[in-house]
Structure 1
Amino acid sequence: MSLPLHMSLVEAEERRLVDPDGRPIVESLELLSARDIGVAPLAFGDTDFSHRRVFERPYEGAWRESVYRSAPVRLYRLRGALVLSSSGVVLLRTVDQATGHTGLCLLDETIQYIELAEHGIHLGHDSNSISVSVEKFSRLAGRAVHLLAPGGSYNYYHWNIDVMSRFSVVPEAHRDDVFLVPPLPCQFQWEFLNGVARNRAMRLQAIHAREAVEVDELILIPNIGEFGHFPRPEQLRVFAAAGLGVPSAAPGRRLYIARRNAEHRRLLNEQEVITLLEAAGYEILECETLPLAEQAQRFAEASHIVAPHGAGLTNVVYCDSRAALCELQMDLNVNWLFRRLGNLKGIRYGCVVGENNGPWEPLQPHNKAWHLPVDRLAAVLKREGFL
């Protein structure tokens, strides 16, 4: 029986695939076992959605959960793997032991949220083969660590949680390996890498779009925290180790994290929210304009944070446990990423949910505009000590 065109890492290891020299192509080591993560109940604001229509992520009914299950974290050692594009798609070169036929096989964990054709990958289901079209191909001798993510490496949230949090569990034995990264055009990427490196040199190799690199030995820690939906406390180690978010004072700052420059999920009456909070002495932050160290420090010194759902809230990883967060959410995209992330820090979390401005299309929420009842927000904030 011929090998499938794609499979999971678990399946690939179970099949005991070998290279032409008879060596295992896939081997793994468990770094962290599965565990249950307790979640504090919604503390204030909108706390009951049993009779309100909302579209939740990661799944319906998560608003009432008290615990979620976080999957084990495994390190995979892959021989002769092909790493394709800045999104980090990984293909294995396989040998069918019955026929001796060689081919390529995609790893499922690296093609989530990926349109294969956009990365020059074409599946021939009739011929049961994969063809790859690239503009540059090279080989990397020795060992490299995979630090890429599907399409998310330039988003502040995905860069930190999907990619950089892997440093929390990368064994010391691999800290001197080559790290495969996307091109790094963003200042925050370099700032964080410098924090992680401290005084230790790091070897980086960027992989561009339509580029493929064949690696003698690839170290892959896939989907730690499952793209942030099921975060683990161990993921936060790297943020402390990077030496960022060192407060110069006890928590006392009150912050509003603005999204007025964002292209997606525009809060149509955001200026009303800003006017309300400015009058109460809140700092209005546009995180994209601040150096990473300054963002981290302000969050570390924050006692109260109000913010629409957005990447800037990734900085809750630097918060003191005495902080409180009121997240402003849209009914068409109630996303509990930052509730769960803040929960790992022990912060008090509540939310106020506004309404989508248009038809109810839950499969495409990211480009939707929305509005928030400011009077209701003000009442919640006054009652909870934010104002």
Structure 2
Amino acid sequence: MARFSFVDGRVGWRYLAVSAGAHQVRAVQRFARGVRHATVPGVRARALAGPGIRYHAAEAGHEVRLTVPGEFDAADRRAIRQRDVTSVPEQFVLELPRATLTGREGWVFHDGRLVEDLWQEAGFPARSLLPPSRSLRPPVHLPGTTVSLLMPWSPNYYHWTVQTVPRVLHVRRALGGSLDDVDQWLVPGRAPAFVAQWLDLLGVPASRRVEVVDADAQFSTDRLVVSSVPGRNRWVSAPTVDLVRRAALPVPPTGTGRRLLLHRDGQVRRLLNADAVLEALARRGFEVVDPAALSITEEARTFAEADIVVGVHGAGLTNLVFCRPGASVVELTPRSLVYPTFAKLALAAGVRHRVVVGSEPRLPWPLRFPDTHADLLVDVSRLLAAVESELARLAHSC
């Protein structure tokens, strides 16, 4: 069995003070960018009209509601509701003649106006993320038909899997089920291997991929086809989960029963008492799995065969989209990162979700923010109680 040992973790009051200060600096910078771009004219997709402009509805908007775990204290209840929303807008595919794309995130402009609702994240409006206009290069012209898969926070594994992959599938449907007429695809450059694997699975030819690396990049297009970004504020829908599942694993495996403990080999969100957790769960039949060492199809099959998954908040838990409905996931998370990403994803996937919050110190409420770098210490007895409860439920349901 693999052994894990970490020292000098990102925990304690000194670390918390430094991380809170850095977060405030980033928030001020983002606010300043929003102010600087406040006068950028904008337009919503449905308001666009003219020759060659087409709007294809892809998925209906709907109301959403977060259920907060009953064992959370008041501070964690407030933290998990930060930046939450009560509705998710309609998803769509837009065809635009003579569009311009700006920056590494691919912000779309038509006739000098920002198409505002392609990006739907509350709390991070498009204008706060736009690159400085004075630093942009002259546009590179792309003839024919271009599809853009660019967006903020990509190619992070979570955002790629549950936001970008569905965009390809929405575009394919809008184009009549075929991607043959697409001349080039704008994709994130210097991306991890999973990006190319997914694009191969989805039928996007490598020869037609244009990798975008630079924040000052600009492109002009003859014809742009682009999908809105689904999963507003982590509210991934059940139809989106179904699209991703079927794309990676058209025929689900029949075997189940595996118990997975996800190995996380990274510099953030390290499990500081991982040895104790590994020892306790190994006695209960858990096997250590490193999702990063698997191909997309291997990940999909592995998680589809699982009854229960335990893992630290991070990319690996994105694979719960492949778990069978009725399976269980137990998420381990730092006290400074009580965030509903995987609770919402589990709800869409029909998977039961439990969270075990770390026992390290946390900031008081006015200073709380989702600290994605903090390490964690897990109370092993609390973890085992959650795991035993889920195993009993699974045994009873058989």
TM-score normalised by length of structure 2: 0.75
Alpha-carbon shift at residue 266 of structure 1 (Å): 2.3
2:175 matched residue in structure 1? 172
1:303 matched residue in structure 2? 307
For 1:30, give the aligned amino acid.
A
Distance 1:93 1:284, change over 3 A: same
Q: 1:145 aligns with which of 124, 144, 147?
A: 147
Alpha-carbon shift at residue 317 of structure 1 (Å): 1.3
Q: 2:59 aligns with which of 8, 12, 32?
A: 32
Residues 93 and 170 of structure 2 are in contact (CA less than 8 Å); yes or no, is this contact kept in structure 1? no
Instruction: Give matches, 1:1-387, under 5 Å.
Output: 5-10=39-44, 14=47, 23=50, 28-36=55-63, 47-49=70-72, 51=74, 53=76, 56-57=79-80, 59=82, 69-94=87-112, 105=114, 107=116, 109=118, 121-122=131-132, 130-134=133-137, 137-153=139-155, 155-170=156-171, 171-173=174-176, 175-176=179-180, 177=182, 178-183=184-189, 185-197=191-203, 203-209=208-214, 210-226=216-232, 229-244=234-249, 246-259=251-264, 261-357=265-361, 359-360=363-364, 361-363=367-369, 365-385=371-391
Distance 1:105 1:30, change over 3 A: closer
Alpha-carbon shift at residue 35 of structure 1 (Å): 2.0
Q: For residues 13 and 247 of structure 1, what CA distance do their matches in structure 2 show?
A: 38
Instruction: Name the stretch that deviates more: 203-212 or 308-317.
Output: 203-212
Alpha-carbon shift at residue 51 of structure 1 (Å): 3.9
Give the total of aligned pairs. 347
2:24 matched residue in structure 1? none
**1:316-341 Cα distance to aligned partner (Å, 9 max, x none):** 11111131111122332222222221
Q: For residues 304 and 201 of structure 2, what CA distance do their matches in structure 1 show?
A: 16
Q: For residues 115 and 47 of structure 1, what CA distance do their matches in structure 2 show?
A: 35
Matched residues, percent identical? Answer: 24
Per the alignment, in what secondary structure is the counterpart of residue 189 of structure 2?
A: coil
For 1:29, give the aligned amino acid.
H
**1:69-120 Cα distance to aligned partner (Å, 9 max, x none):** 32211222333222133322233343xxxxxxxxx6574755975998998x
Residues 82 and 213 of structure 1 are in contact (CA less than 8 Å); yes or no, is this contact kept in structure 2? yes
Alpha-carbon shift at residue 242 of structure 1 (Å): 2.3
Task: Judging by fraction of residues, say which structure has more helix.
Answer: 2
**1:33-88 Cα distance to aligned partner (Å, 9 max, x none):** 2123577x67xxx53325454553453799xxxxx532211222333222133322
Residues 98 and 110 of structure 2 are in contact (CA less than 8 Å); yes or no, is this contact kept in structure 1? yes
Residues 145 and 180 of structure 1 are in contact (CA less than 8 Å); yes or no, is this contact kept in structure 2? yes
Instruction: Name the stretch that deviates more: 369-378 or 357-366.
Output: 357-366
Q: For residues 81 and 226 of structure 2, what CA distance do their matches in structure 1 show?
A: 24
CA RMSD, aligned part only? 3.4
Distance 1:246 1:264, change over 3 A: farther
Runs ≥4 residues deviating over 6 A: 114-119
Distance 1:288 1:245, change over 3 A: farther
Residues 251 and 322 of structure 1 are in contact (CA less than 8 Å); yes or no, is this contact kept in structure 2? no
Task: Judging by fraction of residues, say which structure has more strand.
Answer: 1
Residues 265 and 366 of structure 1 are in contact (CA less than 8 Å); yes or no, is this contact kept in structure 2? yes
For 1:133, give the aligned amino acid.
L
Residues 321 and 345 of structure 2 are in contact (CA less than 8 Å); yes or no, is this contact kept in structure 1? yes
TM-score normalised by length of structure 1: 0.77
Return 5+ residue gaps in structure 2 as ranges: 1-36
Per the alignment, in what secondary structure is the counterpart of residue 370 of structure 1?
A: coil
Residues 256 and 305 of structure 1 are in contact (CA less than 8 Å); yes or no, is this contact kept in structure 2? yes
